[in-house]
Structure 1
């Protein structure tokens, strides 16, 4: 017979039960927005959370009481899952699993603590799929937004500190916005296109694959192809023997995993468009005070404040999607951006004093 639980234990068990219910609801919401294997995985995670609920229900017995609401973070995650879904919510769910306290909870079993760790890795795997799909465009977007914020703020601060008129600062900011956005878009297009062409050049030739069926089974150089692509002599020979034995019209000459569609790189047009749009939107922010008639120190302070907020949001977003601390990434982004802008402002003061 179990001893009567204390009021503190009952509160903690009820809280754990509420959190498990809320987490299961998040996975069901995410599953509702997916099909195929990902849907099955998410529903399996929800079922695992149900097993944890049964543990706390068994401990509570008659003390279960009215259902409590889950932690505000989990409830917020459920709201995002209903509205958004996608890699952003999965990244947040990954962090939520990492915050599990079952390792230190004397009333949670070792299996439950292990479950939470494994759940985190499962969600990490699902989030990684999304990260791979968006990584090329996302990199261009983050780089474009950050560059637009910092470079145009630095440009405006430098020109403003030199004593230039409001009209001059405004025109310089708009010119910097347009020139920078066009340059970033063109640069991303050329960069991604060149990278994809280099990787495509490494793909096996279809003509070489077609020749496999005519190779001498006893003496052939197919194993050399796989050795040239990184396999050991034994692995290459074994793979060559398998390919020869199972040859068909659809056979490819690359070893398993050597070919890919370069999904993580993204498309040249997508990266260019993302970089152009995000650079322009970032570069517009420090110009806004001047567009609304502000000038001098007021425009500098307001513009810098707006850019600071935008830098923090950009850094926090990167932190969430990468599974890192949003606060640390936000502060890092802020320090780098303001450091570059501050240096340009100091140079503007120096040049302004020299000209004066």
Structure 2
């Protein structure tokens, strides 16, 4: 092979290891993929990554093994959180490598070819990926957002009005369960009326599960902690974590901004909690509770 330009051998070894690692990841995903088209595209990308590895090997003249931990990690992420999220999370990491490739000497044309291949990979993946779970993101958002805003408001209000963690937990569970059924039914009717491509039953199921899961996570501190206010603080911290984790997932899977969406949901939850705190204080003063 005709070599053009110069690259540090240690840098070439890093690139070589990255390429063989990604080859193993894509090959494993291709083997697990159920769709024929998805399997074919993933296998092609795995072959391209192996070709890139071979190119770097021609410079280093060494064999390099894959990063087994990284292979296992992304394989597990794709299995648990979906192919779309796992691959796009990995692609975000690869963008750092693209920047390094672009800083290589202009005469190093092999790097330019690799960058072109990687960009084609990204386009192919975007065109390929169509997971069912992403179609119902709106339903999950509906369940999560309503549960966080409504239930946090209820918990804050009840905490200062009732002054009893068991009563707060019991009331929160009853309220949350009823609200989850109501939201699921509303989502079912809404999806059916709008005649969307989504299945109304599945949309309702996603909404209901998201709502009930949030209810369980927010009420649990009141069942395990003896201090009422420690339980409230923990529930609020849990709500922030839920908002953060969910928005990170959506921002990666759907290429949406994380910060603005996170602040919007957190602001709504906090705003309702403050208003509910004031309402709870008023109830205590008027009815002489506590």
Q: Cα distance, 1:48 vs. partner?
A: 1.4
Contact kept in structure 2, 1:289 and 1:295, CA below 8 Å: no
Instruction: Give the match for residue 298 of structure 1.
Output: 230
Q: Cα distance, 1:94 vs. partner?
A: 3.6
Structure 1 residues 319, 84: CA separation in 2 closer, same or farther (over 3 Å shift)? closer
RMSD: 3.0
Instruction: Tell me the alpha carbon deviations over residues 110-158 of structure 1, each in whole angstroms, 9 at most, x when there is no partner.
Output: 222122122111112222x22xx33443321232123213321111102
Q: Does 1:269 align with 2:169?
A: no
Task: For 1:159 and 1:48, locate their aligned partners in 2 and report how far apart those are by CA, in whole Å.
Answer: 59
Contact kept in structure 1, 2:184 and 2:208, CA below 8 Å: yes
Task: For 2:235 and 2:261, locate their aligned partners in 1 and report how far apart those are by CA, in whole Å.
Answer: 21
Task: For 1:317 and 1:38, locate their aligned partners in 2 and report how far apart those are by CA, in whole Å.
Answer: 21
Task: For 1:33 and 1:143, locate their aligned partners in 2 and report how far apart those are by CA, in whole Å.
Answer: 31
Instruction: Give the match for residue 13 of structure 2.
Output: 14
Say how many residue pairs are matched: 281
Instruction: Give the match for residue 143 of structure 2.
Output: 144
Task: For 1:310 and 1:112, locate their aligned partners in 2 and report how far apart those are by CA, in whole Å.
Answer: 38
Task: For 2:204 and 2:54, locate their aligned partners in 1 and report how far apart those are by CA, in whole Å.
Answer: 51
Contact kept in structure 2, 1:315 and 1:331, CA below 8 Å: no
Task: For 1:193 and 1:28, locate their aligned partners in 2 and report how far apart those are by CA, in whole Å.
Answer: 39
Task: For 1:276 and 1:136, locate their aligned partners in 2 and report how far apart those are by CA, in whole Å.
Answer: 16
Q: Does 1:134 align with 2:136?
A: no
Instruction: Give the match for residue 33 of structure 1.
Output: 32
SS in 2 for 1:185: helix
Which of the numbers 210, 219, 239 marks the counterpart of 1:307?
239
Which protein shows a greater Rg? 1
Instruction: Give the match for residue 59 of structure 1.
Output: 59
TM-score, length-normalised on structure 2? 0.83
TM-score, length-normalised on structure 1? 0.69
Instruction: Give the match for residue 77 of structure 1.
Output: 74
Q: Cα distance, 1:327 vs. partner?
A: 6.7
Task: For 1:80 and 1:287, locate their aligned partners in 2 and report how far apart those are by CA, in whole Å.
Answer: 28
Contact kept in structure 2, 1:103 and 1:110, CA below 8 Å: yes
Query: Which structure 1 residue ranges, 5 or more long, are not aligned?
Result: 197-261
SS in 1 for 2:136: helix
- Which consecutive aligned stretches of 4+ in structure 1 deviate over 6 angstroms post-superposition? 1-6
Query: Which structure 2 residue ranges, 5 or more long, are not aligned?
Result: none
Q: Does 1:87 align with 2:89?
A: no
Which of the numbers 100, 115, 118 marks the counterpart of 1:116?
118
Q: Cα distance, 1:29 vs. partner?
A: 1.1
